[in-house]
Structure 1
Amino acid sequence: MASGAAFADALSGSAAAGAHGGPVLLVGTDSIPTVVGAELARLKPKRIVVLGGAASVSTGVEQALGGYSAIVDRLGGADRFDVSAAISKDGFAPGAPVAYVASGAVFPDALSASAIAAKDHAPVLLVTKDGVPKGVADELTRLNPGRIVILGGTNTISTEVEIALRANRPTTRLAAADRFGVSAAASAAGFPAGAKTVFIASGLVFPDALSGSPAAAANAAPVLLITPNEIPTSVATELDRLDPSQIVVLGGTATLSDAVYQQLRAHLG
């Protein structure tokens, strides 16, 4: 469970949920939307994990969630970076094959990472442009991953951070000219043999892709980002390479138009 009003806590939670076969559901700071309550009643979860502190999801909501599960835990921290470390520590054992690192200041790169991280049973950890927060550095030490993959270019995570990460373990970067290209690069790296299903979300807003990433992971599918009215060339090229037989469009016509929906149908294999 994460706030639907802010993106940071759910960025790491989406990968963890997907890796463990669980969904991410979004709530208000002080309320559980009726449709989310109905889905919780349908799911009958054994455990509910609240992501972030009380400023994001109130203690009142946390208590109300106890009506849907006997176990309700909160993974919080002093900031979004500590929250990402707490989520990783809760969900992943030491010796992880890979850890994904993305900016905690912007959402698109981490959105692209979530589906492939879940597929690899790997965490997504958040850093600043110019540094690795101590909580995240400590979690990387605990994880001792076989390698690190940075999502995004040097405008979001600097060369200095890449050098610091590479000093301790093999590190590569998936970058492109924009957020759409990064999503295509992440898809190509995570699904080199193609994918039967592809999930599509807006790259301009975060909620749809956050909730969609665990579902994509459950379907062994990537999440690609597009604009409301256009499929960027990099994404169109990746769709043709993937040659999917099913495309799942996340969100309504306010985020992805009917016109772009029809354009996507032309990329079905």
Structure 2
Amino acid sequence: MKKRKVLVMLLLCMSLSIPSISFGVEDIQENIGAEEIEMTEEVLEDNNQTNGNKVEEKIEETDSSVKRISGSDRYKTALEISKNTFEQADMAIIAYSHNFPDAMFGGKLAVRYNMPILLSQKDKISDEVMNELDRLKVKKVYILGGQSAISLKAERQLLNKYSVKRLAGKDRAHTAWEINLEITRIAEGIPDTEPLPFWDSSSQIMASGYDFADALSAAPFVGQLKGSEEVNLYGHYPTESYAFVPYFGDEPFYGGAFIIGGPKAVPHMWPSDEYHAQGVGRRIYGANRYATAVEIAKLYPLSIGKEIDTVVLASGLNYPDALAAAPYVSTQNAALLLTHPLQLSIETKRYIQNHKIKNVIVLGGENAVSSNVVKELESMIF
């Protein structure tokens, strides 16, 4: 037992020793990538649950400028985020709760057209989700992913009350493409029967599809980022917005307006100077996932025109609580940052201290972001 305790303490100390160097949007001179942490799609325990006891769904109202939005599990946390974001919504997104790419890359669609992201199990839309759709007076529901994510049975349940459209491809990468194409269809009024080509690679923003952290931080930013008004290289595709796509390839990627994360997360084909000579391939990254999120936050004032005074804070080690966060973040003067669950990550702490942050909204329960982190934040925010 003593040896086990010593080992646990050593591992904990190592996990908290996170590099504090951050890198901006710059030429790549060192092969420093986003921190690699293996994640499984099946998360055995929701971050919100503590010792088997359920946490009441809520946003904690206190005199502090640090508040927490949480539910008893990932589904109810998503519901609470929706309730704290929307009074009414014509459209909503339903995504599978145990597979992050669909919901995370769907964040751009949610942000662009003011949709909540609600989470579901595969075969049944819960009564709570149905009630939230009714509260919002939703008319149309988007299902993200194929029938292995949200089944036909669940789709039929929605069809009893709503117009339903499924955005799905042969795999998660193609599902992300379908999501991007739908954004263009809505913006341009293009019917489903009319085919659309994929984006020219110079209009893509790419993040790893294997790990959630970089895409999670980027989703609210990408959703608010407007595309170039210039005609792209092929001269036939609208660039009202950038395509937000996951990288699943084994080969280096050779295009992209932005790449989120380091070369370990998304390899590039050419040296950075050749990349930049063509006006593409600007990489946004830091020494780890926490620093990468900070580098994204630094882009808001110039790229989107928002002066950030609020930070929405999520666990950097697990994704469920923040899957539905993108539309909430976009309604605030906010950026989404990450932290270690037990101690405020140094990169995040420095950003809050140096950017006059007035409010912090914590997503998820005690296991996602501990009370120790909240106390540290309260000592910083006045």
Structure-1-length-normalised TM-score: 0.86
**Closer, same or farther in 2 for the Cα pair 1:119/1:242, shift >3 Å?**
farther
Residue matched to 1:247: 360
**Closer, same or farther in 2 for the Cα pair 1:234/1:2, shift >3 Å?**
same
Q: C-alpha displacement at 1:123, in angstroms?
A: 3.8
Q: C-alpha displacement at 1:166, in angstroms?
A: 6.5
**Closer, same or farther in 2 for the Cα pair 1:2/1:32, shift >3 Å?**
same
Q: 2:246 aligns with which of 118, 126, 142?
A: 126
Partner of 2:269, secondary structure, is helix
4+ residue stretches of structure 1 with deviation over 6 A? Answer: 161-168
CA distance in 2, matches of 1:5, 1:238: 31
How big is the alpha-carbon RMSD for the aligned residues of Structure 1 and Structure 2? 2.7
> Residues 24-43 of structure 1 correspond to what in structure 2 (within 5 A)?
24-43=117-136
The answer to whether the Cα contact below 8 Å between 1:18 and 1:213 also exists between their aligned partners in 2 is: yes
**AA paired with 2:299?**
A
**AA paired with 2:248?**
T
Residue matched to 1:154: 263
Partner of 2:143, secondary structure, is strand
- Structure with greater proportional helix content: 1
**AA paired with 2:118?**
L
- Worse-matched range after superposition: 152-161 or 105-114: 152-161
The answer to whether the Cα contact below 8 Å between 1:2 and 1:50 also exists between their aligned partners in 2 is: yes
Residue matched to 1:110: 215
Q: Percent sequence identity over matched residues?
A: 28
CA distance in 2, matches of 1:81, 1:116: 20
Q: C-alpha displacement at 1:3, in angstroms?
A: 0.5
Q: For this pair of structures, how many residues does the alignment match?
A: 257
Deviations 1:211-250 (A, max 9, x none): 1111101223111011111111111111123322221111
- Greater relative contact order structure (CA < 8 Å, 6+ sep): 2
**AA paired with 1:86?**
E
1:87 aligns with 2:179: yes
The answer to whether the Cα contact below 8 Å between 2:144 and 2:167 also exists between their aligned partners in 1 is: yes
Q: 1:77 aligns with which of 169, 176, 179?
A: 169
Structure-2-length-normalised TM-score: 0.62
Residue matched to 2:298: 188
CA distance in 2, matches of 1:191, 1:208: 26
Q: C-alpha displacement at 1:66, in angstroms?
A: 2.3
> Residues 1-269 of structure 1 correspond to what in structure 2 (within 5 A)?
1-69=94-162, 71-92=163-184, 99-121=204-226, 122-131=242-251, 148-160=257-269, 169-191=279-301, 194-269=307-382
